[in-house]
Amino acid sequence: MMQIDTKNLVSISEANQNFSKVARLVDENGAAIILKNNTPRYVLIEFSQFQKEEISSDEDANTIAKRILSKHKVAFEELVKS
């Protein structure tokens, strides 16, 4: 399960200006959560982790994202509260 921690959070502006920092966060912590308007909006994970999600070839990106986000729904709801 992906660990959600404040050290994994980065604003969309910072991600845009310093993608190498976001990539380092993923390397160090397994994921980076990109915030848009102070709300978790995007998750960046290593490709190997993405493959582990057992994605079948007939799923589209929206279906995959919904499945991953629903798997970690509680963690995202806690982030929204803070």
> Residue 10: CB partners within 8 Å, gap ≥ 6?
21, 22, 25, 32, 33, 34, 35
Structural domains of the chain sorted by starting position, each given as residue range(s) with its CATH number in brackets: 6-81 (3.40.1620.10)
| Whole-number pLDDT of residue 13 | 94
| Alpha carbons 75 and 14: distance in angstroms, whole number | 22
Q: How far apart are CA 51 and CA 47, in angstroms?
A: 6
Higher pLDDT, 26 or 74: 26
Percent above pLDDT 90 for the chain:
28
pLDDT tens string 22-50: 999 899 888 899 999 988 899 998 888 87
pTM beyond cutoff 0.75: no
Instruction: Kindly give, in sequence order, each residue whose CB lies less than 8 Å from that of residue 44, ignoring residues fewer than 6 positions away.
Output: 22, 26, 31, 32, 34
